[in-house]
Amino acid sequence: MKNITVIGSGTMGNGIAHTFAQNGYQVSLVDIKEDALQRALQTITNNLDRQIKKGTIDDAAKASTLANIKTYTALQEGAQHADLVVEAATENREIKLDLFKQLSSICPADTILASNTSSISITEIAAVTNRPDKVIGMHFMNPVPVMKLVEVIRGYATTDEVTKTIMQLSADLGKSPVEVNDYPGFVANRILMPMINEAIYSLFEGVAGVNEIDTVMKLGMAHPMGPLQLADFIGLDVCLAILNVLHKGFGNPKYAPCPLLVNMVTAGHLGIKAGKGFYKYTPGSKELVVADKFA
């Protein structure tokens, strides 16, 4: 495997492109928005500079990583020579199904098609392609260059051979892949999202404040950040979308999203990316300040 196409150059796409390129793969990074591609290249450059400062890479590695990445706004051009596609476009079912239908006709017959989706069924994505046996989930964690886990999700029709290839490839990237089956939320979000939802319910019901809830989980459970801060980091809209998938997929009321989360998303208080969520964020400041609403 040499040519990797990464689709979507947002938070996850730029990290996935960075990781493959740093490991010597030729990366075609595709986004419908040219400005998103430019922002991604800037983010990758900044992150490589941070790695140089830390002493984990040198200037030559930065140069070769950047040289390994080409950007495209046309899917056909960016995906036609792919050995592997890793789709990391917006978490929207229609967008993903449409992309995978197009990839079916654009990519060579043996190209493996992977999705970084957090919650959409790999089996459903595979079913719209002409190669369901070669469709798989490759769920990287944010920030991709730093986080070790890749949750490798087998769709109903994914073969052992394709799974083995992706497990090995993930290991070659220096990651620790874990194989799981395709059920709502897979493993990571099936466990994480109910915890975040319960933290939001605890706030909603007045059990404790934002700081108190996050402090209990940080100091009591040795989590590096509390669930409310983590929700802001992930994006409250993303958390809500995943909880809705769990709720619908299992038909169990225990996954129903907390009304406070629904309200915050409706109001556009989406977390870090909106500058406000459970905390408020000032550009350039690392201080964690509880949002006025919860202060």
Ligand X SMILES: NC(=O)c1ccc[n+]([C@@H]2O[C@H](COP(=O)([O-])OP(=O)(O)OC[C@H]3O[C@@H](n4cnc5c(N)ncnc54)[C@H](O)[C@@H]3O)[C@@H](O)[C@H]2O)c1
Closest approach of Cβ 168 to ligand X, in Å?
Answer: 21
Longest dimension (CA), the chain: 56
Q: Which of 28, 87, 151, 211 is catalytic?
A: 151
Say which residue the tokens 């941070």 belong to. Answer: 50
Q: What is the DSSP letter of 133?
A: G
Q: Which residue is nearest to ligand X (CB)?
A: 10
- Residue 218 labelled as part of a binding site: no
**Rounded-to-integer distance, Cα 81 and Cα 5, Å:** 8
Mapped to the 3 state alphabet, what secondary structure does 66-96 carry? HHCEEEECCHHHHHCCCCEEEECCCCCHHHH
Establish whether 118 is an annotated binding residue.
yes
Region near ligand X per CB under 6 A, out of 114-122, 128-136, 255-263, 284-292: 114-122
- Which DSSP string do the residues of 194-257 spell out, in sequence order? HHHHHHHHHHHTTSS-HHHHHHHHHHHH--SS-HHHHHHHH-HHHHHHHHHHHHHHH--GGGPP
In three-state secondary structure terms, 101 is helix
Please say whether the beta carbons of 232 and 280 come within 8 A. no
For residue 172, give both structure tokens. 């070659």
Residue of 68, 87, 121, 139 with catalytic role: 139
Q: Is 18 annotated in the active site?
A: no
- Which member of 2, 24, 33, 266 binds ligand X (CB under 6 A)? 33
In the stretch 13-32, what mask flags binding to ligand X with x, by CB under 6 A? x----------------xxx
| 3-class DSSP state of 180 | strand
To the query of whether residue 139 is one of the catalytic residues in this protein, the response is: yes
65 is an interface residue for ligand X by CB under 6 A: no
Figure out which of the listed residues 4, 6, 12, 86 binds ligand X, where binding follows CB under 6 A: 12
231 near ligand X (CB under 6 A)? no
Minimal distance, residue 20 CB to ligand X, in Å: 15
Q: Site for ligand X (CB under 6 A): which residue of 4, 234, 245, 258?
A: 234
Residue 101 is assigned to a ligand binding site:
no
Q: Angle, nearest 10°, between helix axes 11-22 and 59-67?
A: 110
Q: Which helix (H) or strand (E) holds 128?
A: none
Min dist CB 108 to ligand X, Å, is 19
> Hey, which residues between 88 and 107 contact ligand X (CB under 6 A)?
88-91, 95, 99
**Active-site entry in 68, 116, 189, 202:** 189
- Residue with Cβ nearer ligand X (237 or 295): 237
Confirm whether 64 is a catalytic residue: no
Instruction: Name the strand (E) or helix (H) holding 167.
Output: helix 160-172
The answer to whether 58 is a known ligand-binding residue is no
When binding is defined by CB under 6 A, the residue of 4, 5, 6, 11 that contacts ligand X is 11
Residues contributing to the site for ligand X (CB under 6 A): 7-13, 30-33, 36, 88-91, 95, 99, 116-118, 139, 142, 234, 238
Residues at the annotated binding site for NAD(+)? 8-13, 31, 91, 96, 118, 142, 273
